[in-house]
Chain A
Amino acid sequence: MKRILYSLLALCLVISCEETRLPSLVEWRPSIDESALGDVPRPDSYKITVSNIGTEAVEEMVFDALSPQTFELVQGIYNITVQAHGTLGGRAFNYIGTANAVKISPGNTGTTPIKVSASESSALVFKEIHYNASMVKNSASARYLKDTYFEVYNNSEQTVYADGICLGDVLSSRVYDFSDKLPDAANYVFMGTYVWQIPGSGTDYPIAPGESFVIAASAIDHSQTAETLDLSTAEFETICDRYKERGGQPDANAVNMTLVCTIKESGLGNQLGKFTDGAWALFYPSVPLRKDGEYLESNHANNYGLEVLKTDVLDAIDLLKSENPDDKRLESDLDAGWIKCSTTGGNESVVRKISGRRENGSIILQDTNNTTEDFTVSDSPQIRRDGTGRPSWSNWTTAQ
């Protein structure tokens, strides 16, 4: 009897003696490689964002480049983004460096130096976006989806041209993976529904400093139908023959953008494809875009994407539907933050903050590549607010 009892006890102990891997806190010291900055001035400090891939916990800290300090982190696998913003002689720079899937654990606290590069702030940036619909007049439930617009502003000191610039919605980098189709997929961002392009020979649509242009889903006076605004002075609209053929959509006098890619047709009543949330990128393609039917299939079957070089992206923004930053679609090198409106149908817009004014009074918009910091939500959408100029060639009113 005793033997049996002792044998059973021993068996229980053997079975229960499993390897235990309890988590621990780790002292971690970031290391930054500034060799790629060239003549660009070094910033005094960086903002470091560490995102734990496993728990989705995000921590931000300011890192003094001259006297680097350590940070206490829960061991894990992290994506790390290093950012800074600086100016030199009136030129604005964004500094960014990323390191993905970095293992930080008790035996592995050293990190390969994170290489930081600097780029001048883009001339064209999103200034205001209205994306989450409004309500049909005298209706408690009917949402109006056709009043989406993007206002794009020339935040630089030089005249630039809108010809050939594209607008598309970006697939979530967390959900869709193309690495088995594209060896250097990390250098690309992938569009998921439509890509619209501004037509022109290259110099048809100049945008002077302090001027903006508006891309509307439909350049009409929506205030006649819904609790929203008049977009009849928009410069461009996303309407094409396909939608005209389907009827019910007037073709206003705004310049029609070209639907250059239909990656996935949207059933929504909005020519831009998405309205409640999404990530959007404004880009100027340096290489020809793929044609319909040639798009890459992601890791999820029958879900395709159009690759666009990250270096072609002029500006990108993450617009969320929920408070959950895990829904963020863009990688942090394109947009380190996100923003959301309070409710779908609330007729709200997201507006970029003003960081200063030029001598002529025109505004300088804040551009740190972090939407959370750069944008705010407005409950009264308005195009060309704060005295923004219209382009010289945009002198019509498009109302029918």
Chain B
Amino acid sequence: MRTNRLVLSLLLTAPLCLNVAAQELHDKAWSVLNEGRALWMGSDNAAGLSFDAPAEFNLLDADFSYERGYYRLKQSPKREGELTFDTQGLKKIGKIIAWGRFSYNNSSENGASFNTLLGNPYDERFLYTAADSIEGQWKKQSYLLQFKAALPLGERVSTGLHVIYNDRIAAGQIDPRAESYHYSVSVKPALAWTTDIGTIGLNGIYTNTFERSTPGISNSQEIQKVFLLRGLGNWVGDQVGGSGLSTMYFRCNSWGGGLQYSWNQGWKLLADFGYLTDKTTITESATQPKPHGNTYRQNISGSLSAIWGEKVQHFLRLSAKGVKTKGTEHTVLWDTGSGQWITAMSIDQVMLRSLDASLDWNAYLTDGEAYSWHWGAGAAWEGKDDTYALPHSVFRYGNASLSAVCERRFGFSNSSLTAGLRLRATKNLYGEYSYQGHRGASAPVRDLYPHNLSILAADRLQAGLEVEYAFNVAKGVSLALCAQGSFLTASCDWAYEASGIAHRHRGNALGGVKLYF
């Protein structure tokens, strides 16, 4: 305890002891405005950075978060601890603007169920997966590497490239368990050119995603039954162990592109439209491939961002995203002649649709390159409409939410303290799960979907606090201690699951340290 106090004292008094000349302090407020003002930074078009880039920066962030609570989807853990290390930086090298980022994430989850195979059970492309009702543990690690560069070709034209590599391993700890390996590589080449009427950008996207998940059991005496999910509670039976389910392969190729237009004459505007389509094949076994199904996803997104004002700088963003995922399930037969599984019939049974839209306004009372006050408000809509063709089943809900944020930054000679409060209220407008198939008494229909609907279609209120204390430790280098906490309380309409209203909560806390340099 004494050691802890000593460390804390040293950290808090460091700005006084280091005798650093007063200079611009890089902290959260500086970082938010620096990156937020460069609208192209948030688009898929790296070439636009040539015309509107943030100031050079470097950031190193290490934090630990802990989350727990019973307001959770079945596939989410009751408790989760997560360690994150993140570093990023932007540099101008001659005419080239280069930005890079590396993130490492290590998490430990407890109490998640209905996910036997996947690192991310919510990826709708991987619809045809296995689930079990046993609450298990997962250990997960992921690496995310990103690189973005913009190279101007003359005064008016620029090229750019954004590459993303993601690598993840996940291991279930309780039978039926699985070891999952996942990677994805995205390449986004881009062009941008400036005309008298603004800047126009065009980018392409190609992503290759792969996940391999090998199920297994530790106790070979206890064969574990699993559900091979088909969507909305439909499933077929299999088992893990005893010559049951073998390695599953999820392969996805995505293609798409984006079109951007920006205006920068005193006030800034960026309109960004994107389209992405992908096809995922889901197959069991490499030696005797057994097709389980394909998914086809289309993703359309659009956003309009605007910035205006000087002393009080306003950020407005309107965005919408629609995703449609079609699931084609296969009926396969073993062909003795060829020694292979053959697809005897393919039927489009599942259609998953989601539509999210949001309008966010943020105002910053600027104080040099940072801000002293930040107010914001937002409104959002999230809607889901999933159907299974025959026997007809439906899963849908619609939620509207309002949010508000208020932050105050206290600037000192060599340090700053930023404290903020965030509130979000969500109102459910409708929700429905209806299942007409022959699995009515099974766990996915009885436990999974009704529970998840009661969570997703719950009225809820979330409040969060965040504090960052930053101080200069050397010329151009500042260290920040940050802490965050949030609490969510929900009135889940348990009519979807049983009867009556149940209140469920979830809280999380985060502590970390950042180095701005």
Cβ-closest chain A residue relative to B389: A23
For residue A24, CB closer than 8 A to chain B, the reply is yes
Name the B residues within 8 Å of A176 (CB-CB). Answer: 243
A8 at the interface (CB under 8 A from B): yes
Q: A77, B344: Cβ atoms under 8 Å?
A: yes
For the complex of A and B, the 5 pairs showing the least CB-CB separation, nearest first, are A326-B237, A54-B331, A300-B243, A179-B336, A23-B347
Interface members, chain B 251-301 (any A CB < 8 Å): 255, 257, 259, 275, 277, 288, 296, 298, 300
B346 & A21 in contact (Cβ 8 Å cutoff): yes
List the B side residues contacting A15 at CB < 8 Å: 255, 277, 298
With an 8 A cutoff between CB atoms, is A34 at the interface?
A: no
Which of A55-63, A154-162, A308-316 participates in binding chain B?
Answer: A55-63
State whether B336 touches A22 (Cβ < 8 A).
Answer: no
Give the chain A neighbours of B275 by CB distance below 8 A.
Answer: 8, 12
Contacts of A245 in B (CB 8 A): none
In chain B between 324 and 354, which residues have their CB closer than 8 angstroms to a CB of chain A?
A: 326, 328-331, 333-334, 336, 339, 344-349
A37 near B: Cβ within 8 Å? no
A327 contacts partner chain B, Cβ-Cβ < 8 Å = yes
- Let me know if B225 and A76 touch, CB within 8 A: no
A103 close to B236 (CB less than 8 A)? no
Asked if residues B334 and A76 are in contact (CB atoms below 8 Å), the reply is no
Q: State whether the Cβ of B438 lies closer than 8 Å to any Cβ in chain A.
A: yes
Set of chain B residues within 8 Å of A324, measured between Cβ atoms: 225, 237, 442
The answer to whether B472 has its CB under 8 Å from any CB of chain A is no
A180 touches B339 (CB 8 A): yes
Q: How far is the CA of A292 from the CA of B243 in the complex (A)?
A: 21
Q: Which of B225, B234, B334 contacts A177 (CB 8 A)?
A: B334
Q: How far is the CB of B198 from chain A (nearest CB, A)?
A: 10
Shortest CB–CB separation between residue A73 and chain B, in angstroms?
A: 10
**Partner among B230, B300, B334, B438 whose Cβ is within 8 Å of the Cβ of A299:** B334
Provide the residues of chain B in CB contact with A326, threshold 8 Å: 236-237
Q: Kindly provide the distance from the CB of A307 to the nearest chain B CB, expressed in whole angstroms.
A: 15
In angstroms, Cα B234 to Cα A103, docked, is 21
Q: B238's closest neighbor in chain A, by CB?
A: A326
Residue of chain A at shortest CB distance from B441: A323
A18 within 8 A of B: yes
Complex Cα distance, B505 from A315, in Å, reads 56
Chain A, residue nearest B257 (CB): A8
Residue of B nearest to A25 (CB): B390
> Which B residues between 73 and 88 are near A, CB-CB below 8 angstroms?
none
Since A16-B277, A303-B243 are in contact, a sample of 12 more A-B pairs with Cβ atoms closer than 8 Å, ordered by chain A residue number, is: A18-B296, A20-B348, A22-B389, A23-B349, A25-B390, A54-B345, A55-B234, A76-B347, A77-B331, A175-B243, A299-B334, A322-B225
Q: How far is the CA of A21 from the CA of B349 in the complex (A)?
A: 8
Point out the residue from A24, A300, A327 that lies within 8 Å of B390, measured CB to CB: A24
User: B127 near A: Cβ within 8 Å?
Assistant: no
The distance from the CB of B347 to the nearest CB of chain A, in whole angstroms, is 5
In the assembled complex, B200 has its CB within 8 A of some CB on chain A: yes
Question: Can you name the residue of chain A whose Cβ is closest to the Cβ of B288?
Answer: A299
Contact B347 A22 (CB under 8 A): yes
Q: How far in angstroms is the closest Cβ of chain A from B377?
A: 33
Q: Which residues 74-98 in A have Cβ within 8 Å of B in the complex? A: 74-77
Q: Which chain B residues border A54 with CB–CB below 8 Å?
A: 236, 329-331, 345, 347
Docked pose: A324 CA to B257 CA in angstroms: 46
Known contacts A21-B328, A56-B237; is-contact A101 B333 (Cβ 8 Å): yes
Distance to closest chain B CB from A4 (angstroms):
7
Q: Which residue of B lies closest to A104 (CB)?
A: B345
Contact call B331/A175, Cβ cutoff below 8 A: no
> Contact between A105 and B345 (Cβ–Cβ < 8 Å)?
yes
Question: Are the CB atoms of B277 and A103 closer together than 8 Å?
Answer: no
| Tier of interface size on chain B | 35 or more
Within 8 A of B (CB), among A1-60: 1, 4-5, 8, 11-12, 15-16, 18, 20-25, 53-58
Instruction: Encode A253-274 as 1/0 by CB contact (under 8 A) with B.
Output: 0000000000000011000000
Indicate whether A398 reaches chain B with its CB closer than 8 angstroms.
Answer: no
Task: Say yes or no: is B512 at the interface (Cβ < 8 Å to chain A).
Answer: no
| Chain B 290-325 interface mask (CB, 8 Å, partner A; 1/0) | 000000101010000000000000000000000000
Query: What residues make up the interface of A, taking CB atoms closer than 8 Å to B?
Result: 1, 4-5, 8, 11-12, 15-16, 18, 20-25, 53-58, 74-77, 101, 103, 105, 175-177, 179-180, 185, 267-268, 298-300, 303, 322-324, 326-327
A268 CA to B326 CA, complexed, in Å: 46
24 residue pairs A–B, Cβ–Cβ below 8 Å: A8-B259, A15-B277, A16-B277, A18-B326, A21-B346, A21-B347, A23-B347, A23-B348, A23-B349, A53-B331, A54-B331, A55-B236, A57-B437, A58-B438, A101-B344, A105-B345, A175-B239, A175-B242, A175-B244, A180-B339, A300-B243, A324-B237, A324-B442, A326-B237
B296 near A103 with CB under 8 A, answer no
Q: What's the dominant secondary structure at chain B's contact region?
A: strand
Whose C-beta in chain B lies nearest to the C-beta of A303?
Answer: B243
How near does chain A come to B116, taking the closest CB pair, in angstroms? Answer: 16
Which B residues are CB-close (under 8 A) to A53?
A: 331, 333, 344
On chain A, the residues within 8 Å of B244 by CB distance are: 175
Q: A15-B255, A16-B298, A21-B328 are in contact. Are A327 and B347 (CB under 8 A)?
A: no
Which residues of chain B have C-beta atoms less than 8 A from A23's C-beta?
A: 347-349, 389-390
Task: Determine whether the beta carbon of A327 is less than 8 Å from that of B243.
Answer: no
Min distance, Cβ A136 to any Cβ of chain B, angstroms: 18
Cα distance A8–B258 when bound, in Å? 9
Q: Write out the residue numbers on chain B whose beta carbons fall within 8 Å of the beta carbon of A21.
A: 328, 346-348
Bound CA span A176–B243, Å: 8
A303 to B257, CA, bound (A): 50
Asked whether A74 and B296 contact (CB < 8 A) given A4-B202, A176-B243, the answer is no
Chain B residues 60 to 78 lying within 8 A of chain A, measured CB to CB, are none
Give complex CA distance A327, B277 in Å: 38
Query: Across the interface, do A76 and B331 meet the contact criterion of CB distance under 8 Å?
Result: yes
- Residues from chain A with Cβ under 8 Å of B476 in the complex: none
Q: How far is the CA of A316 from the CA of B259 in the complex (A)?
A: 67
Complex CA–CA separation, A388 to B234 (angstroms): 46
Q: Would you call B391 an interface residue if the criterion is a C-beta within 8 Å of the partner chain's C-beta atoms? A: yes
Closest to A53 in B: B331
Q: How far is the CB of B331 from chain A (nearest CB, A)?
A: 3
Q: Closest residue to B277 on the A side, CB-wise?
A: A15
Least distance between B187 CB and chain A CB atoms (Å): 18
Please tell me if B3 contacts chain A, counting CB pairs below 8 Å: no
With an 8 A cutoff between CB atoms, is B221 at the interface? yes
User: Hey, which chain B residues are within 8 Å of A8, CB to CB?
Assistant: 257, 259, 275
Distance of A22 Cα from B275 Cα, bound (Å)? 25
Chain B residues positioned under 8 Å from A322 (CB to CB): 225
A185 to B336, CA, bound (A): 10
Q: How far does the alpha carbon of A1 sit from the alpha carbon of B201 in the complex, in Å? A: 11
Task: Return chain B residues, CB-CB under 8 Å to A20.
Answer: 326, 348
Cβ-defined partner of B259 (8 Å) among A4, A18, A298, A323: A4
What is the CA–CA distance of A103 and B329 in the complex, to the nearest angstrom? 15
Would A298 and B243 be within 8 Å (CB), given that A23-B348, A56-B237 are in contact?
A: yes
> A260–B389 Cα gap in the complex (Å)?
52
Contact of A22 among B200, B202, B348 (CB under 8 A): B348
Q: Are A1 and B390 also in contact (CB < 8 A) when A54-B331, A75-B347 are? A: no
Contact with A along B380-402 (1 / 0, CB 8 A): 00000000011100000000000
| CA distance in complex: A363, B515 (Å) | 87
Closest partner residue, chain A, to B345 (CB atom): A77
Q: Which residues of A contact B349 (CB under 8 A)?
A: 23
Q: Are B390 and A74 in contact (CB under 8 A)?
A: yes
Contact A327 B225, CB 8 Å, known A8-B275, A53-B333, A303-B243: yes
Q: How far is the CA of A8 from the CA of B298 in the complex (A)?
A: 14
* CB-nearest residue of chain B to A175: B243
A16 CA to B288 CA, complexed, in Å: 31
Residue of A nearest to B258 (CB): A8
Q: Which residues of B contact A327 (CB under 8 A)?
A: 225, 237, 239
| Chain B residues positioned under 8 Å from A77 (CB to CB) | 331, 333, 344-345
| A53 CA to B298 CA, complexed, in Å | 30
Q: Which residues of A contact B230 (CB under 8 A)?
A: 55
